[in-house]
Structure 1
Amino acid sequence: MPEHAQRTYRSPVSIAVPASAWLHDWHFDALGVAAVLLAAAYLWAARGGPVPFVRRVAFTVVGCAAAVAIACGPITEYAPHLFWVRALQITLLLYVVPLGLASGMPVTVFGGLLSPARRSAALRALRSPLARVLGHPAVGSGLLLVTPWVLLFSGWNLAAMRNPALDLLTRCLLVGAGFVYFYTRVQADPVPRRYPQGLSLLITLVESLADGVLGIVVWLGPLLYTAHYAALGFSEDSMRLSQTVGAGMLWLLADLFGLPFLVILMFALRREDAARQVRVDAAEDARDAARADDEQAGGGAPSNGLWWESDPELASRYHR
């Protein structure tokens, strides 16, 4: 560890990360290297493809570049020593990086490299019963909500902070859990089953309340990992301050990072409504044309039937 970082960790009052750390405390990290390779492969696969430029930026910058900054920068360096930095790391890896990756349509991009036969096989596997279960919104939401609770309130987090290999695995699992959630909710790529975006919007609002519960429990609950932080020289007051700031990261910052996702869902909901209206208008036009043909053929006799049978939405609901 850098000398100035050691002084910060052992200080009983200071929980701040020195500003100079963003210039000096950079290191090699396997997750960062994987993110660089993934970005390069994505850009190569997406060349000349149908994926919009803004989605490529989301994948490479919000997803991969952010992952490199988190993994190789001071956040991962200081996370085992300061609770609030660990909470920030968890929030970024669970919300920001996966949202960028899922928004970049990686399944479409990398699927374009497959032959037609393998692409058809992949789509069949994607629509299999197991994939439909894993792609259900409840599964992704469960992973996103349960993972921080299990990580923080079990021996998992403490063991990860002490074991670099387990910490690397933990960070990969956080990104994976977040990706499953956003992939099945953004629905920019082919998914096992498409769900109404209105449902996604409702689920997101409920999840924001669950984030608040986690933040309140961490904020008002007992000190976590006291022996670990005491060994680093922190007093109970500094531990409490660090944990309080970390609670804000898990609660308020998670909701703040969720705002772009809400915007994405609202735009998707708008497109969904517009597409539904186009289908309804087309069905009404076809019905009116058929009615006009029937009236001409029958000498202008009015058509019989219940009023709701002519409405495409209600007719399909009642199988008419």
Structure 2
Amino acid sequence: MTVAAAAEDLPRFDAGALVSQWGLAPLPLVVTVWATGLYVLGVVTLHRRGDSWPVGRSIAWGIGMLAFYVATSSGLAAYDTVLISVHMVQHMVLSMVVPLSLALGAPVTLALRTLPRRPRGWLLAVLHSRLAKVLGFPPLAFGLYVISPWALYFSGWYEASLRSTYVHEMMHVHLVVVGALFFWPIVGADPLPGRVPHLFRLLLTVMTLPFHAFLGITIMGQKTLLGGDWYPSLHDGPMAAWLPDPLEDQHLAGGILWAAGDLVGLSFFFVLFAQWVRASMKEAEREDRRLDRLERQERLAAAQTRPPGSAEAE
């Protein structure tokens, strides 16, 4: 079945439609169940052997998987080919909220702590491979992250995603993967290639904000419809009574991209800043302990080299 067939008739989009138009898409359901189940299994394995795992990481992973499932199976998925504004909300969730939340969940660290010896060795081999180092190179990930949306909306790719189920699903995969390549090394929770100092992480985050804003403003100012004649053609069908003007909806989509990109980007900036402060405090504590050890060693050495009877003479 093509996307066109799936978008033939839907009720007016509102908050209730997000729930009433929920579907059971096989691929998102399988991915969500397996990814959540394996993560829970890892946490349970740690607790059974007496090790702890930060609750915040588990919450972050849960938020990421929930956001992924909502974006690909709720009313957002049902209307993402009907309203470009809804598609843009889905786009931002898949490209920013999902990768950031999953990265904060530190699944690679969890896997390294719970996998048997041989699978752990395979995972370490992948992490140290040349491909992983190339994909984890921050400037490359940054370039992919900021260029991909422009390539999506100002080429034939977006219209193809409206007319083909396969291209549509691959677009979702692309958004998550590119977002993961950008966010995962920057978050720094997992031992991945491409980890950089905190200052550079903050710089990369700040640099993404103008690109999202400029793209959003560009879409808001467009007089040409994205997706060709796809959205106008829906006005000839049963949804014509409630569908908004395609150009007005496109302008709304640009505003969503602009505002959501800045909101999530600034939130991520504060997450990185908090990580930097916490890492600096831990480094200061380690330095204090090192200096204390050196001082104790110097006192012990001085006591051992002091001539006999000097203490009594004093």
TM-score, normalization by structure 2: 0.81
Q: Which one is further off, 277-286 or 165-174?
A: 277-286
- Counterpart check, 1:24 vs 2:20: yes
Percent identity over the alignment is 29
For 1:137 and 1:212, the matched residues in 2 are separated by 21
Q: Is this contact kept in 1: 2:82–2:231, CA < 8 A?
A: yes
- Counterpart check, 1:252 vs 2:280: no
Judged with a 3 Å threshold, the aligned counterparts in structure 2 of structure 1 residues 125 and 227 are, in CA distance, closer, same or farther, namely closer
Q: How many angstroms does 1:56 deviate by?
A: 0.8
Tell me the residue number matched to 2:57.
55
Judged with a 3 Å threshold, the aligned counterparts in structure 2 of structure 1 residues 277 and 153 are, in CA distance, closer, same or farther, namely same
Judged with a 3 Å threshold, the aligned counterparts in structure 2 of structure 1 residues 31 and 148 are, in CA distance, closer, same or farther, namely farther
For 2:112 and 2:56, the matched residues in 1 are separated by 19
Q: 1:242 aligns with which of 249, 252, 255?
A: 249
- Counterpart check, 1:262 vs 2:269: yes
For 1:25 and 1:200, the matched residues in 2 are separated by 39
- Counterpart check, 1:72 vs 2:73: yes
Deviations 1:255-289 (A, max 9, x none): 21233322221121012212332344355556666
For 1:73 and 1:124, the matched residues in 2 are separated by 38
Q: How many angstroms does 1:156 deviate by?
A: 1.0
Q: Which blocks of at least 5 consecutive residues in structure 2 are unaligned? A: 1-5, 47-51, 307-314
Q: Secondary structure at the match of 2:245?
A: helix
- The total of aligned residue pairs comes to 289
For 2:208 and 2:7, the matched residues in 1 are separated by 39
Tell me the residue number matched to 2:233.
231
Counterpart residue identity of residue 51, structure 1 = W
Q: How many angstroms does 1:293 deviate by?
A: 8.3
Tell me the residue number matched to 1:84.
85
Deviations 1:67-103 (A, max 9, x none): 1111111111111121111111111100011111111
For 2:209 and 2:133, the matched residues in 1 are separated by 25
- Within a 5 Å distance, the mapping from 1:152-301 to structure 2 comes to 152-223=153-224, 224-233=226-235, 238-282=245-289, 284-285=291-292
- Counterpart check, 1:106 vs 2:141: no
For 1:169 and 1:255, the matched residues in 2 are separated by 25
Q: How many angstroms does 1:297 deviate by?
A: 10
For 2:37 and 2:126, the matched residues in 1 are separated by 27
- Counterpart check, 1:37 vs 2:44: no
Q: How many angstroms does 1:117 deviate by?
A: 4.6
Q: Which one is further off, 268-277 or 70-79?
A: 268-277
For 1:18 and 1:255, the matched residues in 2 are separated by 24
Superposed CA RMSD in Å reads 2.8
TM-score, normalization by structure 1: 0.80
Q: Which one is further off, 184-193 or 286-295?
A: 286-295
Tell me the residue number matched to 1:116.
117
Q: Which blocks of at least 5 consecutive residues in structure 1 are unaligned? A: 9-16, 300-320
Q: Secondary structure at the match of 1:5?
A: coil
Q: Is this contact kept in 2: 1:128–1:192, CA < 8 A?
A: no
Tell me the residue number matched to 2:43.
46
Q: How many angstroms does 1:212 deviate by?
A: 0.8
Counterpart residue identity of residue 85, structure 1 = V
Tell me the residue number matched to 2:311.
none
Tell me the residue number matched to 2:3.
none
Tell me the residue number matched to 1:5.
10
